[in-house]
Amino acid sequence: MSTPLLSVEQLTVSAPGAAERVRIIDGIGLAVSPGETLALVGESGCGKSMTALAIMRLVSPPLRIHAGSRVLFEGRDILALPATEMRTVRGAQMAMIFQEPMTSLNPVTRVGAQVQEAITLHSDVSPFAARMQVIDLFEMVGIPDPHKRIDAYPHQLSGGLKQRVMIAMAMALKPRLLIADEPTTALDATIRAQILDLIRNLTANTGTAVLLITHDFGVVNELADRVAVMYAGQIVEEGTREDLLARPKHPYAQGLLKSIPRAEQRGGRLEEIQGVVPRPGQWPEGCRFHTRCPYVFDDCVFEPPARTIVSATQAARCHLLTGKALDPA
């Protein structure tokens, strides 16, 4: 088997709590192969962004990445790298785009200069050559009149254009992995479709792998090769797009899938799953989903379900898959 580009093992992050430290993500495991798009899905508050930040090692005190966590990038544990080496990995090897382009761009610097700086920081090109690269990149991400737009300030651009600038900046160094955290959530439906198309084309053309974070199964349907479903700091199901869309096994994944067409109209609220995601520190005993699960039974309340292999490509964390519900003896 080929080495995955990114392999995350037992990734755990905690924050200080009232009495003891509280886990925000808890033993996350996932893998992304070169060129592949893995969608990380779950409602708001499940720990998706924290997972992305921890992978990029953008977690700072009082938050802590626990010992035993591993983030292998091309086989190397980047959690063990010195900070200077990590800075090279970040940007040149793996880059991230965020939900809110407004907050990630510097409001007082022209957008072209910001992308240019990202290039000159990591490579030995002249300012002129870097500027030419920025124009090419702007063209590649579909920014009209790139010669003019490079001299615009962020506030002079629409939300969709700003997100394109962020994507250009992320792609500037041809990273092997792009982490996109809800890249279309702040955008309207038409622009959203254009940005998804752009990400699809870029990755097809460059071979860049993508970890795509979303609360929206519609986005999964459009872009993902494989899917990991997250709930209360854990991965509760993983499989191919086909596995998750055609035969999700975990009741939470089933609920997310059922709420695709309606969630948007309800501002992301899920019709099919009652209640809300429990906050860190308030995760229930046993199965963390048991307070909301329509299939809950005795074992669920006391015993955390193990990860059960369903097929060569699919696994889920639910007692229903171990046959216990059918055989209560």
Ligand X SMILES: Nc1ncnc2c1ncn2[C@@H]1O[C@H](COP(=O)(O)OP(=O)(O)O)[C@@H](O)[C@H]1O
Q: Which residues contact ligand SF4 by CB under 6 A? A: 250-251, 287, 289-290, 293, 295-296, 300, 305, 318-320
CB 118 within 8 Å of CB 173: yes
Nearer to Mg ion, 51 or 208 (CB): 51
Q: Which is nearer to ligand SF4, 133 or 291 (CB)?
A: 291
Nearer to ligand SF4, 57 or 317 (CB): 317
Q: Where are the alpha helices (DSSP H) in the chain?
A: 48-55, 83-92, 101-104, 111-122, 127-140, 146-149, 159-171, 189-206, 217-223, 241-246, 251-258, 260-263, 298-302
Closer residue to ligand X (CB): 49 or 234: 49
Query: Which listed option, ligand X, Mg ion, ligand SF4, none, makes contact with residue 45 (CB within 5 to 8 Å by class)?
Result: ligand X
CB of 256 to ligand SF4, least distance (A): 12
In whole angstroms, give the CA distance from residue 238 to residue 225. Answer: 11
Helices (H), 178-308: 189-206, 217-223, 241-246, 251-258, 260-263, 298-302
The sign of the CA dihedral 143, 147, 152, 154 is: positive
Longest dimension (CA), the chain: 75
Is 216 or 299 the residue whose CB approaches ligand SF4 more closely? 299
Task: Choose from ligand X, Mg ion, ligand SF4, none: what does 15 bind? Cβ within 5-8 Å by kind.
Answer: ligand X
Which DSSP string corresponds to 73-85?
A: ETTEEGGGS-HHH
Considering only 49, 93, 133, 203, the residue that binds Mg ion (CB under 5 A) is 49
| Rounded least distance, CB 205 to ligand SF4, Å | 40
Nearer to ligand X, 28 or 165 (CB): 28
Which partner, ligand SF4, ligand X, Mg ion, none, binds residue 63 by CB below 5 to 8 Å per kind?
ligand X
CB under 5 A: which stretch of 49-57, 86-94, 147-155, 223-231 binds Mg ion? 49-57
Contact, 73 vs 93, CB < 8 A?
A: yes
Binding mask 238-257 for ligand X (x = CB under 6 A): --------------------
Q: Nearest approach, Cβ of 49 to ligand X (angstroms)?
A: 3
Pick between residue 269 and residue 279 the one whose CB is nearest to ligand X: 279
Q: Which CB sits closer to Mg ion, 49 or 259?
A: 49
First-to-last alpha carbon distance for the chain, in angstroms, is 41
Please, which residues have CB within 8 angstroms of residue 167's CB and are 6 or more apart in sequence? 97, 141, 183, 195, 198, 199, 202
- Least distance CB 27 / ligand SF4 (angstroms): 16
Determine if 279 is a binding residue for ligand X (CB under 6 A): yes
- 4-63 binders of ligand X (CB under 6 A): 15, 24, 42, 44-50, 63
Q: What is the DSSP string of 130-143?
A: HHHHHHHHHHHTT-
Q: Please state the φ and ψ torsions of residue 119, each to the nearest 5 degrees.
A: -75, -50
Q: CB count, 10 Å around CB of 36?
A: 20
Identify residues 88-127 at the interface with ligand X (CB under 6 A). Answer: none
> What gap in Å lies between CA 167 and CA 130, rounded to an integer?
16
Which of 66, 25, 71, 20 shows the shortest CA–CA distance to 45?
25
Residue 43's φ and ψ, nearest 5 degrees, are: -65, 165
CB of 49 to Mg ion, least distance (A): 3
Query: Applying CB under 6 A, what is the total number of residues that bind ligand X?
Result: 13
The binding site for Mg ion (CB under 5 A) comprises: 49
The binding site for ligand X (CB under 6 A) comprises: 15, 24, 42, 44-50, 63, 279-280
